[in-house]
């Protein structure tokens, strides 16, 4: 029973829809919309109140690509939080390769840095009670029919994970569509490492699957955005079977991840092998690097090289 839930990136897309679905559960008493833009956050809060008839939404402003912004935000969080949904992120857009003051590129900082700081600070202040959900993607195990190769690292050492985070792993040509899977992999391995470090809490990873109706396609390079919006989503994916679903279905995966006891701590759940929709399964059954506890801890250590 999660009474209080914090969701990052909750003003739009999957984060906002997750807030809507959770608000309709009887046990939910408080939902914190953790957003970077106050005007967008207020608009989302108003819309969620209208749609759910509930006045249980609070706003906390913070930028997950900036560790200090997140630290300041945590000071404003009153009382314990049962569940945290680390949702903000995606492919970020044109600034993905830019190096942030932390030393991580913006893609990694947005998807990982602030989320790790948020969890570390909540734990330090004893404000986190039950569940942490990290949002990953099928880009990690890859999707063969779409030519998406699985993440493949040479040594999975601390240095190699750090190279993904500062971008040097990708050499001179930074392709955000490739880097995205590697960044989500580092965040996934951090979560699995934390699951072993904090056995009394549930640390779980879920991919929403290929979800329509979010802002995500707008962050893709223009030719790819066009292909996805006008060819793949409406024509190709529906023909392939179990390749695309609605916003409601994508967000329900997050709600199930934090509330349903079938989904266990220390596991990355996403679509069946080479699928992007349908039932969620344990990804380590076919992407076995996820089981390697040394790799998991190396990812955790590498991330903390960028956090003072
Ligand atoms: N859509 C899919 O098919 C899909 C598939 C696999 C995984 N995912 C993952 O699901 C999550 C949600 O994606 P989505 O499709 O719902 O994306 P979206 O519609 O683009 O929403 C992203 C949210 O993250 C927020 N955000 C971005 N950078 C931020 C920052 N630095 N600080 C605070 N908030 C920030 C955005 O806020 P602003 O409005 O202020 O920009 C927005 O609220 C992401 O982690 C994504 O990688 C999505």
Q: Above 90 in pLDDT, residue 110?
A: yes
Please work out whether the CB of residue 40 comes within 6 Å of at least one atom of ligand 1: yes
Q: What's the token pair of residue 8?
A: 């990052």
For residue 10, how far is its CA from the centre of ligand 1 (angstroms)? Answer: 8
Positive or negative, the CA dihedral 189, 109, 233, 204 is positive
Mean pLDDT of the chain: 97
The sign one gets for the Cα dihedral 97, 298, 134, 234 is positive
Is the pLDDT reported for residue 76 higher than 90?
yes
Cβ(148)–Cβ(181) below 8 Å: yes
Position 289 pLDDT exceeds 90:
yes
Torsion sign, CA atoms 16, 22, 23, 28: negative
For the range 94-103, what are the long-range contacts, defined as Cβ-Cβ under 8 Å and sequence gap of 24 or more? 96/174, 96/176, 96/179, 97/167, 97/174, 97/176, 97/179, 99/166, 99/167, 100/65, 100/66, 101/66, 102/67, 102/306, 102/307, 103/165, 103/166, 103/305, 103/306
Which of 10, 14, 74, 105 most suits a substitution to test ligand 1, by most atoms within 8 Å of the C-beta?
14
Mind listing the pLDDT tens digit for each residue in 168-190?
999 988 999 999 999 999 999 99
Cα 119 to ligand 1 centroid, rounded to whole Å: 18
pLDDT, position 32: 98
- Is ligand 1 within 6 A of the CB of residue 36? yes
CA 51 vs CA 16, 20, 56, 88: distances in Å: 11, 8, 12, 22
The pLDDT of residue 243? 96
Q: Is residue 277 within 6 Å of ligand 1 at its C-beta?
A: no
Residue 226 CA to ligand 1 centre (angstroms): 19
The string of pLDDT tens digits covering residues 226-256 is 999 999 999 999 999 999 999 999 999 999 9
C-alpha span between 3 and 133 (Å, rounded)? 15
100 neighbors 106 (Cβ within 8 angstroms): yes
- Token look-up 């490492």 returns 193
Q: How many whole angstroms from 216 Cα to the centroid of ligand 1? A: 7
pLDDT in tens, 79-92: 899 999 999 999 99
Q: Is the CB of 137 under 6 A from ligand 1?
A: yes
3 state DSSP class of 283: helix
For the chain, the first-to-last Cα distance in angstroms comes to 34
Output the DSSP codes for 52-72. H----EEEEE--TT-HHHHHH
Protein residue closest via CA to atom 1 of ligand 1 = 211
pLDDT above 90 for 222: no
pLDDT score recorded for residue 221:
85
Separation of CA 257 and ligand 1 centre (Å): 18
Q: What angle do CA 108, 67, 9 make, to 5 degrees?
A: 65
Query: Could you tell which of 10, 33, 42, 88 is best to mutate to test the pocket of ligand 1, judged by most ligand atoms within 8 Å of the CB?
Result: 88
Q: Is 207 in the pocket of ligand 1 (CB under 6 A)?
A: yes
Q: With bands split at pLDDT 50, 70 and 90, how would you rate the model's confidence at 210? A: very high
Q: Which atom of ligand 1 is found nearest the CA of 86?
A: 45
Does 297 have pLDDT greater than 90?
yes
- Probe residue for ligand 1, chosen from 9, 91, 248 as the CB with the greatest number of ligand atoms within 8 Å: 9
Q: Evaluate if residue 300 carries a pLDDT over 90.
A: yes
């Amino acid at each position: 029973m999660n009474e209080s839930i914090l969701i990052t990136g909750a003003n739009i897309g999957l984060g906002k829809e997750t807030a809507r679905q959770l608000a309709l559960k009887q046990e939910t008493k408080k939902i914190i919309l953790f957003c970077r833009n106050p005007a967008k956050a207020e608009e989302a809060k108003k819309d969620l109140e209208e749609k759910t008839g509930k006045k249980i939404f609070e706003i906390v402003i913070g930028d997950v690509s900036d560790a200090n912004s997140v630290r300041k935000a945590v000071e404003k969080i009153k009382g314990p939080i049962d569940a945290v949904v680390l949702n903000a992120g995606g492919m970020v857009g044109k600034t993905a390769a830019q190096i942030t003051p932390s030393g991580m590129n913006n893609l990694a900082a947005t998807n990982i840095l602030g989320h790790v700081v948020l969890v570390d600070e909540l734990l330090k202040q004893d404000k986190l009670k039950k569940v942490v959900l990290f949002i990953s993607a099928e880009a990690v195990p890859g999707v063969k029919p779409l030519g998406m190769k699985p993440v493949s690292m040479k040594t999975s050492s601390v240095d190699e994970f750090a190279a993904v985070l500062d971008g040097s792993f990708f050499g001179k040509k930074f392709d955000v569509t490739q880097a995205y899977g590697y960044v989500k992999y580092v965040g996934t391995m951090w979560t699995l490492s934390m699951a072993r470090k904090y056995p009394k809490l549930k640390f779980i990873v879920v991919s929403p699957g290929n979800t329509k109706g979010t802002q995500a396609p707008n962050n893709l390079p223009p030719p790819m955005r066009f292909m996805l919006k006008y060819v793949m989503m409406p024509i190709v994916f529906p023909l392939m079977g179990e390749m695309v679903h609605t916003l409601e279905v994508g967000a329900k995966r997050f709600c199930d991840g934090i509330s349903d006891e079938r989904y266990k701590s220390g596991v990355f759940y996403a679509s069946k092998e080479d699928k992007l929709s349908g039932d969620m399964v344990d990804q380590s059954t076919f992407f076995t690097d996820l089981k390697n506890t040394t790799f998991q801890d190396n990812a955790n250590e590498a991330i903390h090289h960028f956090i003072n």
